[in-house]
Structure formats: structure tokens, C-alpha cells
A = this chain, B = another copy of it.
Amino acid sequence: MGEFELIRHYFAAAPCAQVGEGVVQGIGDDCALLAVPAGEQLAISTDTLVAGVHFPDPCDPFLLGQRALAVAASDLAAMGATPIGFTLALTLPHAEPVWLEGFARGLNRMAQGCGLTLLGGDTTRGPLSLTLTVFGRVPAGQALTRKGAQPGELLCVGGPLGDGAAALPLVLGQQQEAPEIAAPLLARYWSPEPQLSLGLALRGKASAALDVSDGLLADCGHIATASGVALRVERDKLPLSSAVRALLDEAAAWQCALSGGDDYVLAFTLPAEHLSALQADGWPIQVIGRVEEGQGVQLVDRAGQAITPPARGYQHFGSGGD
């Protein structure tokens, strides 16, 4: 048995590969088989992470395993889908037991936290990269897409913005900070929590949703375009974590919140009548603006005056990466 065949057996024996609900056939045949309950649809999303483009190389394999699955699962949260499972295509230069053991532990931990079963995949020799495809289920017609926002609704987010971008210099070792500042930001970067429960709570309530991965303004642009509306973002209402406030001045914090990426909190539009009940249930929802007639995204200050936003979007952490 070759070393890569051994890796396949290793993953097949991992705790997260034990067949979960809805999984008829897991690892070990030509295909996995999923049972989708009558009246439900299957949600599917694929993400690739390349060493040196999407994560530093080398990095802690436990953290990489955790983060890779969290980033993929966040797309299920954004659709309001209940997690089922995932496939892992892992390409690596050579099979190193210590690396694999750490990676599998991180993957297991996030998989079990999210309720995702490892269904199969492929392990190949080559430059380090990972492609994860995640699967969830959602009642027909109840998926949260990007295209239902209506003028008059609220624009909301599910948590603080800017942590991902603020963490980046720490992740890359370009900046050192005291542990009480660095630790929460590094945790947010390496172990983002996909807002799966919030996604479920928003089913039938939010009119459009996505997860903030490219930066708030760029992602709001996706909702505005898909829904054929304008989104007005009030800069002073952006929720910032205490770690970001401690690390950065106000202008830099806003820039991270508006144009950084990797936050993986949900951004969504909501008819105002649903807000108080959701907040009363304890969901950490922050209103940051409003849906209007028109198109595009407008950033305004406290007085309602338009502000030219900082550079939009986010090209991952490497220069020129995609």
C-alpha cells in the first residue's frame, strides 16, 4: 500500500468520517450517497485554499484543518442550510504523519462542531492545496439567497467586522502584539465560527443573505446587484470588536470592517418587523443600514453624508492572490 493509500485509510477512520444522519454511503465506494428528505433541497458550495495564496506556508496543520472547513461551512450558514457533510480534496507534496495527524484533528474538531460528516474526496501528490465541498439541506424555497432584498428593509450583520483583516499582519508575523490583543484576533482568523444557527434562525425572515468573506462593501454589492436595490451602509453603526478597537485607530478599524475580508459573519436584509423578536431570542444582530430604491452601495457618516469608501474588496492575503 502506497503512502497516499495509507492517508486515505487514515481519513476513512477519522471520527468525522463516521456516517451521520442522511448519509447512506460514506467513504469507500465510487460515490458517496446522501438521502435528502422529501421537500428539501441540497445546498452545495466549493472552496479552494492554496498554500502561500490563502494561508501561510508553513502553518499549524491543526489550525489549517479547522479554518478550511469553517470557511466552507460558512457558505451553508449563508444559505440557511442544515449541515450534512463534506468532501475533502487534499493535495500535498508528501505524506508526513505529524502534519496529517494535526490536520485531521483540526478538521475533526470543526466537523463535529458543525455537524458535518466527511463523505469522501481524493488525496493526491502535488503542491499543498485543499478543496472542500460542503453539503447541507434546506426546505424547498426557504434557502437564503442574495436576491430577495426589498427597499425599506434593514441591512444587518451577525457580529463584529474587521477582525479577519486586522488579524492578518499577526498571522503573517509582520506585527507582534500583547497576547490579550493578539489572541482573540488570531482565534477569529484561524477558527472562525460559521454562523450556522443564525442562518437557520433567519429562514423565512431574512430576505437576502451572504457571509462576509470578500469585505462588507464588496459583499453588500453582491446583494445589491442580485436584488436590484441600493444598500445604504452607516459607517458609525459598524460593530467593531474590542480587540480591533484596542489594536487600531478608528480610520484603520473602519477600513478593516468595510474592505477587509475573512470575517465570516452573516450580512443580510431583514423586514423591520422581525428584528425585535430575533434580538429578544439573543441573536447578536446589528443594524448597519437600510435597503433603498436604486443600485449599488452607498456609505454614509453619522450625519447621513456620503463618504468615499476605502478601496473595495480584498485579494486574500498574498499580493495578487485570488
Contacts and interface: CB of A to CB of B under 8 A. Distances in A.
A123 B131 CA distance: 11
Nearest to A1: B313
A273 interface: no
B28 A226 contact: yes
Interface residues of A, number: 68
A30 interface: yes
A272 interface: no
A146 interface: yes
A45 B122 CA distance: 9
B35 A41 contact: yes
A43 B48 contact: no
A146 B44 contact: no
A165 B36 CA distance: 39
A204 interface: no
A131 B89 contact: yes
A203 B210 CA distance: 40
Contacts of A321: 124-125
A120 interface: yes
Interface string A224-249: 00100000000000000000000000
A143 B226 contact: no
Given A29-B147, A32-B45, 18 more contacts: A24-B143, A30-B45, A30-B79, A31-B43, A31-B81, A33-B41, A33-B143, A35-B42, A48-B91, A50-B124, A50-B127, A53-B126, A89-B131, A124-B129, A124-B322, A125-B321, A125-B322, A127-B127
